[in-house]
Amino acid sequence: MSNYTYLTKNGYDKLKAELEELKTTGRQEAARAIAEARAQGDLSENAEYDAAKDAQGMLEMKISELETVLSNARILDESQLDSSQVAILSNVTIKNKKTGKEITYKLVSETEADTRERKISVSSPIGAGLLGKKKGEFAKIETPGGVLEFEVVDISVGDL
């Protein structure tokens, strides 16, 4: 895949808001925690200071990751998408051949994936296995739990 992260406008806005929150409130809280730990005395044996510095490093790493994602983001307009085959931002209804159960997923980027909202990443085993399939086609997908076979029942675009 490319280095681009394909996002909905809503997904892009959420990431941008999270980044802004980390840069402002997150950094202020990290600085306050370091100052409080430093005020406790000897830094060479101060576990709270070490923990606060580690937390600050993790915060900065998260900020850097979000900045990279946003700088490589491409916002997709769902109204311009083709629903003849499964692609990113497709809503795809699949039927498990073994159990007969049907479920609808929306294929999204890794940063927008949320199984509670039935949004799965296009790089997940099921997401990757469904890409390019057309209505009525079958997909054999290697998952950690074994090989599953699904029929693509329907493809649409828009909200779930």
> 5-75 has which CATH code?
1.10.287.180
Is 70:6 a contact under the CB 8 Å cutoff?
no
Place of tokens 């049907």: 102
User: Per-domain residue ranges for the chain?
Assistant: 5-75, 78-157
To the question of domain 78-157 being in CATH 3.40.50.2300, the answer is no
C-alpha torsion 97→103→107→111, nearest 10? -120
pLDDT in tens, 71-126: 998 888 777 777 889 998 899 999 999 999 999 999 998 888 999 999 999 999 99
Give me the helix-helix angle, 47-71 and 27-38, nearest 10°: 160
Q: Considering the entire predicted model, what is its pTM?
A: 0.68
- CA-CA distance, 68 to 102, in Å (whole number)? 36
Runs of H (alpha helix) within 22-124: 27-38, 47-71
Structure confidence by residue, pLDDT tens digits, 56-78 = 999 999 999 999 999 998 888 77
